[in-house]
């Protein structure tokens, strides 16, 4: 046997080879070299050398392994009936997968990477998006936030109108007999707005909703519910809750919450100046209507409220008083108390921040009586 004869240290066996040039078949010896499958004639002559990664299986009976070389212009093929040799080739060549070993590996990889991708998405949602929102929100121009606020306000009003009586306006203060109450409400807001020094004017609206609640949208849009006015026993208590909402405006909490929950679709819309596409505004409005802020965000807004009440000469403890009374009531818990932080902890923190500075009346008795009656029955 010449220099190309088979090295007995390599796996080898018998096969039938068709060279693709004639119809004749050749009895051959198949040698599994380290990197190639080598086909030797009975005289030791090398008839073919096929790299393992270029092998392809061809249709054949179950007891025959029929191989070719992928993308080979010569249609040569090799047939092997020795199961041990076939198994050895299967082990060495990735494209040859008669036992399904490669398919199982690929399936396992797909499952692994799918789980990894899911875990990554969850990690981004839980950790990444809040961090991204916190970093990006201060960079959003105020003009864009105001435009965002206008778009979300329109959707929010649609949500607030749901279930409302068609024969009664949603906004309180529009009827003639409610005029005095509207003037008193605007007087209270003006006293707070200038010392607050917010980056844009506040648009505060009283609406006929029974919950003792208030919500803040981006761009300075604040909705105060009728139930909150009914619950407040003094102008300072109502002002304390509104001052808390001013804190959300100052800290841009609504915008950050929306970027965090509505995700990249809204963020790209903000960059392009389009807040309507993809239903992102609907998601944003529902986010602010149905979710609550974190303990840290609410505590920061409480601190802002105490500071602002001190500036205007109001009762710095009034917010704690109304929160305590609402929490002790039997009605459903409003958003300003929902989930977290614990109301007791908030009250303790507010009391600790408050001082005994001199106070002045924020509204006289006539104005306060008019404000309490602002949402008169139509």
Q: Is residue 329 part of a domain?
A: yes
Q: DSSP letters along 256-296, please?
A: HHHHHHH-HHHHHHHHHT--SGGGHHHHHHHHHHH----HH
Name the burial class of residue 262, with classes exposed (0-12), middle (13-18) and buried (19+) by CB atoms within 10 angstroms of its CB: buried
Tokens of residue 64, six digits: 């025959």
If asked whether residues 243 and 322 sit together in one domain, one would say yes
In terms of domains, do 305 and 224 share one? yes
- Could you give the CA distance from residue 173 to residue 176 in angstroms, rounded to a whole number? 8
Q: Which of 6, 18, 141, 153 is nearest to 79 (CA)?
A: 18
Task: Examine the domain organization and report whether 180 and 80 are in the same domain.
Answer: no
184 in any annotated domain: yes
Residue bearing tokens 């025959």: 64
Asked if residue 6 is part of any domain, the answer here is no
Statement to judge: residues 150 and 190 lie in one domain: yes
Domain of residue 311 covers 141-372
86 and 128 housed in the same domain: no
Residue 4 lies in a domain: no
Rounded Cα gap, residues 149 and 129, in angstroms: 21
Domain shared by 244 and 228, yes or no: yes
**How confident is the model over 327-355, as pLDDT tens digits?**
764 344 455 554 434 788 999 999 999 99
Question: 119 and 179 share a domain?
Answer: no
The helix-helix angle for 264-272 and 253-262 (nearest 10°) equals: 120
Helix then strand then coil, % of the chain, to nearest 5: 50, 15, 35
pTM tops 0.85, yes or no: no
Q: Are strands 77-80 and 55-57 parallel, antiparallel or unpaired?
A: unpaired
Q: How confident is the model at residue 251 (pLDDT cuts 50, 70, 90)?
A: very high
Question: Quick check: is 2 in a domain?
Answer: no
Above 60 in pLDDT, residue 65?
yes
Structural domain total, the chain: 3
- Is 1 among the domain residues? no
**Given this model, what pLDDT does residue 321 score?**
95
Alpha helix stretches (DSSP H) within 124-223: 129-136, 142-161, 179-196
Whether 84 is covered by a domain: the verdict is yes
Please tell me the distance from the alpha carbon of residue 212 to that of residue 332, in angstroms, as a whole number: 9
How deeply is 286 buried, as exposed, middle or buried, from its count of CB atoms within 10 A (0-12, 13-18, 19+)?
Answer: middle
132/89 same-domain check = no
Answer yes or no: do 239 and 311 share one domain.
Answer: yes
Let me know whether 115 and 229 are in one domain.
no
What is the longest distance spanned by two Cα atoms in the chain? 119
Q: Report helix angle 343-353 to 318-327, nearest 10.
A: 160
CATH number of the CATH domain containing 23? 2.30.29.30
Average pLDDT over residues 185-192: 96
Answer yes or no: is 147 within a domain. Answer: yes
Task: Give me 147's structure tokens.
Answer: 């435009």
Q: How confident is the model at residue 241 (pLDDT cuts 50, 70, 90)?
A: very high
């Amino acid at each position: 046997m010449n220099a190309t004869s088979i090295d007995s240290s390599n796996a080898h066996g018998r096969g039938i080879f068709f060279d693709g040039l004639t119809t004749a078949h050749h009895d051959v010896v198949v040698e599994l070299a380290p990197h190639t499958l080598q086909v030797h004639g009975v005289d030791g002559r090398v008839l073919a050398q096929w790299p393992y990664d270029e092998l392809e299986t061809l249709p054949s009976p179950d007891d025959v392994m029929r191989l070719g070389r992928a993308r080979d212009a010569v249609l040569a093929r090799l047939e092997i009936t020795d199961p041990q040799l076939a198994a050895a080739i299967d082990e060495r060549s990735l494209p040859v997968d008669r036992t399904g070993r490669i398919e199982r590996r690929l399936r396992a990889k797909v499952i692994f990477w799918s789980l990894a991708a899911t875990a990554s998405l969850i990690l981004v949602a839980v950790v990444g998006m809040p961090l991204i929102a916190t970093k990006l929100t201060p960079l959003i121009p105020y003009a864009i936030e105001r435009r965002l606020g206008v778009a979300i306000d329109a959707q929010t009003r649609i949500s607030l109108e749901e279930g409302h009586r068609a024969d009664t306006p949603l906004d309180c203060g529009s009827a003639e007999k409610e005029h005095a109450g509207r003037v008193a409400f605007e007087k209270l807001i003006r006293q707070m707005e200038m010392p607050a020094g917010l980056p844009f004017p506040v648009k505060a609206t009283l609406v006929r909703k029974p919950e003792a609640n208030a919500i803040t949208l981006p761009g300075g849009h604040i909705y105060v519910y009728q139930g909150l006015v009914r619950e407040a026993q003094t102008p300072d208590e109502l002002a304390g809750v509104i001052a808390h909402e001013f804190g959300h405006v100052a800290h841009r909490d609504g915008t950050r919450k929306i970027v965090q929950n509505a995700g990249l679709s809204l963020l790209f819309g903000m960059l392009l100046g389009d807040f309507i596409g993809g239903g992102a505004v609907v998601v944003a409005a529902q986010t602010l209507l149905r979710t609550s802020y974190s303990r840290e965000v609410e505590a920061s807004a409480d601190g802002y409220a105490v500071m602002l009440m001190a500036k205007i000469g109001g009762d710095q403890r009034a917010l704690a008083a109304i929160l305590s009374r609402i929490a002790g009531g039997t009605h459903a818990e409003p958003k300003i108390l929902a989930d977290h932080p614990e109301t007791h902890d908030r009250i303790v923190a507010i009391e600790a921040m408050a001082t005994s500075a001199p106070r002045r009346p924020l509204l006289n008795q006539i104005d306060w009586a008019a404000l309490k009656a602002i949402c008169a029955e139509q």
